[in-house]
Structure 1
Amino acid sequence: MSTSMRTATLSGLGAAGAIRGVSPVLEVPFTADGEIDLPGFRRVVRHVLRCGVSSVMFPGFAGEFYKLAEHERTTLTEALIEEAKAFPDAVVIAAVQDHATKLAVERARWSVAAGAKAINLLPPYLLNRPAAAIDVHIRAVLAAVADTPVVLQYAPNETGASLDAGRLAAIGRDHPNLVLVKVESSPPGPFISELARLDPPMLAVEGYAGVQLPDAIRRGAVGTQPGCSFTEIYQEIWRLYETGQHAAGDRLHARLLPYTSYWMLDTELIIAAEKLISKRRGLIESDHCRAPRRELDEQELAAVDRFLVEFADLLPDVTPDVDGGPQ
């Protein structure tokens, strides 16, 4: 497929253009006894969308997708789509992490039928699948939702799975709804640059809590997908870069980096830290994480306290609105 043909095809996938800037991955609040807190999740959705983001993703690692029962996941996804109707310009990106191709195809189709405007696809990563089998899986999901934009998640640190730009280019030429790659390699920059050199170029968003965000932006990343407990900080960093204030963006990111670089040493650690931040801001009632979980020690708890003090100017307490949700 030529560059001009791909551009024309992408123009028909309207939601693709909205997956830009900060695209938070939503957390799942649980009650103190470990049940899903559905009203709390609805508050999280409303708060994050009121921060002005143009898209949200659910469920990802930050949403503990691997700890959700199927009916819980369905209930939460439907609640997200319902809440997002009040924000018609926002794109709901529904995640697909199923290892079986049949189940991944079914989940992708169900998500689109339920109202999701885009799909985030995590390729198979269990049992050391061969590259050819992974490619078949990716292509099957892309074909199943051919009119829907798809973000392909590349998270080698969490999954051990490997992708290369050449294979993605071949897939993208056959399936133009593959519109973005979420790059979470360490570091992500070289792979983002490699994707940009493809013919046609493939756009990227950066994940991994924005640890390498300045480099990713300078290499052409069009967005970032962090957690959601301090969306306002990421929004301000992105605003600074987008308005050409790179030095100010670097400085704000440098203030954030000591926290995120430590928390991202362990996925369960950053989940626990972000939930505690959300609780202390008044966004959720409990910071419970389902076991097995990472318990924050005394120094890690103190770090959350310092974080909230340092960024108090960007992270106001969340106050209830008339519906009981955050403003």
Structure 2
Amino acid sequence: MRAISGVCPVLETPFHEDGSVDDEGFVRIVDHMVAAGVRNVMFPGFASEFHKLSDSERSRLTTILLKRTADVKGFVAVISIPDHATTLAVARAKEAVASGARALNVLPPHFLGPSRGAVREHLLAVLRAVAPTPVVLQYAPSQTGTALDADTIAEIARLAPNLVQVKVESTPPGALITALSATVPPLESLVGSAGVQLPDALRRGAVGVEPGCSFVELYLEVWRLWQDGQQDDATCLHQRMLPYLSYWMQSSELIIAAEKEISRKRGIIDSSHCRAPAHELDPEERAMIDRFLSEFAEFLSIPAPVRSPRRHE
């Protein structure tokens, strides 16, 4: 089984200026991903501000995503299960699969420092509840403090074979990607953290990258070049992106704010509002975004947004 391959952006959540969720803006984000050629997306992740969404908002947006992409050939909407309580995580996972999710992403529980054994049992409960649906384990120690190693993850995969991939967001990710490929069973890796270490991850065998969604075209081009055997060109393009990515990735709230401002400036969403507490972009950070859009205009120009006549979710 494989859940994800290639570029799998994590969808942002657009808000109106008053802080309410912009459902129509979310539809436009989904449609933009499809039009760009993306065939995997993940929601809701850190980039989606999942921790700032109510249960009903999260469910509603998940339903919109699944319905909007149900008829797109080859499209996989990966629904993330970041719930801390095992009972809630199992219920959410089963609900997502019943609603049409073809793959899941599971974030290990991390509030108040659960033991490694408790994390293991949580993951097994979710995996077994949705088998044989393929599942990606999101390993983000910087954001969560969770400490897992390749052997522990492989043991979980042996007990629950629908754990098929790991989203690696350790710093740096390369060593874990290599170690996972050598486990029994071998586990495929996806690299997160905005793809800051994407070329190294690809050399080590990563099968996908999960960045944000505001400039997904750049990641698609890096991926295309790499798969076409033009690794030097792919690396050069990535190196041009790196000064921006490395600055924005200094904090999760910073890159969320930057990406939403990029989406707004590109006309994909109407507002770059982030729910508080959030990072407030200063003038130099806004100027950096303008430089970024200017430098990569050949990849990021888009036509005026089209309001689709398709059904309302």
Q: TM-score range by the shorter chain?
A: over 0.9
Equivalent AA in structure 1 for residue 102 of structure 2: K
Aligned with 1:127: secondary structure?
Answer: coil
Deviation of residue 298 (structure 1)?
A: 1.0
Deviation of residue 152 (structure 1)?
A: 0.2
Residue 232 to residue 324, structure 1, CA distance change in 2 (3 Å): farther
Matched, 1:323 2:308: yes
1:1-327 superposed matches below 5 A? 10=1, 16=2, 19-321=4-306, 323=308
CA deviations on 1:203-256 (whole Å, 9 max, x unpaired) are 000000000000000000000000000000000000111111010011000000
The CA distance in 2 between the partners of 1:89 and 1:114, in whole Å, is: 17
Equivalent AA in structure 2 for residue 73 of structure 1: R
Aligned with 2:97: secondary structure?
Answer: helix
The CA distance in 2 between the partners of 1:318 and 1:140, in whole Å, is: 45
Stretch moving more, 164-173 or 63-72: 164-173
Deviation of residue 86 (structure 1)?
A: 3.4
Aligned with 1:93: secondary structure?
Answer: strand
The CA distance in 2 between the partners of 1:225 and 1:202, in whole Å, is: 17
Aligned with 2:142: secondary structure?
Answer: helix
Equivalent AA in structure 1 for residue 30 of structure 2: V
Equivalent AA in structure 2 for residue 83 of structure 1: R
Q: Is the 8 A contact 1:281 1:318 kept in 2?
A: no
Give the superposed CA RMSD: 1.1
Aligned with 2:237: secondary structure?
Answer: helix
Equivalent AA in structure 2 for residue 47 of structure 1: H
Equivalent AA in structure 1 for residue 165 of structure 2: L
CA deviations on 1:34-67 (whole Å, 9 max, x unpaired) are 1000000000001012211221000000000000
The CA distance in 1 between the partners of 2:308 and 2:10, in whole Å, is: 23
Q: Which runs of 5+ in 1 are unaligned?
A: 1-9, 11-15
Give the fraction of aligned pairs with identical amino acids, expressed as a percent. Answer: 54
Aligned with 1:32: secondary structure?
Answer: coil
Q: TM-score, normalised by structure 2?
A: 0.97
CA deviations on 1:101-134 (whole Å, 9 max, x unpaired) are 0100000000000111111000011111110010
Deviation of residue 176 (structure 1)?
A: 1.1
Equivalent AA in structure 1 for residue 157 of structure 2: G
The CA distance in 2 between the partners of 1:74 and 1:282, in whole Å, is: 25
Q: TM-score, normalised by structure 1?
A: 0.93
Q: Which runs of 5+ in 2 are unaligned?
A: none
Equivalent AA in structure 2 for residue 158 of structure 1: Q
Equivalent AA in structure 1 for residue 144 of structure 2: T
The CA distance in 1 between the partners of 2:221 and 2:309, in whole Å, is: 26
Q: Is the 8 A contact 1:84 1:90 kept in 2?
A: yes
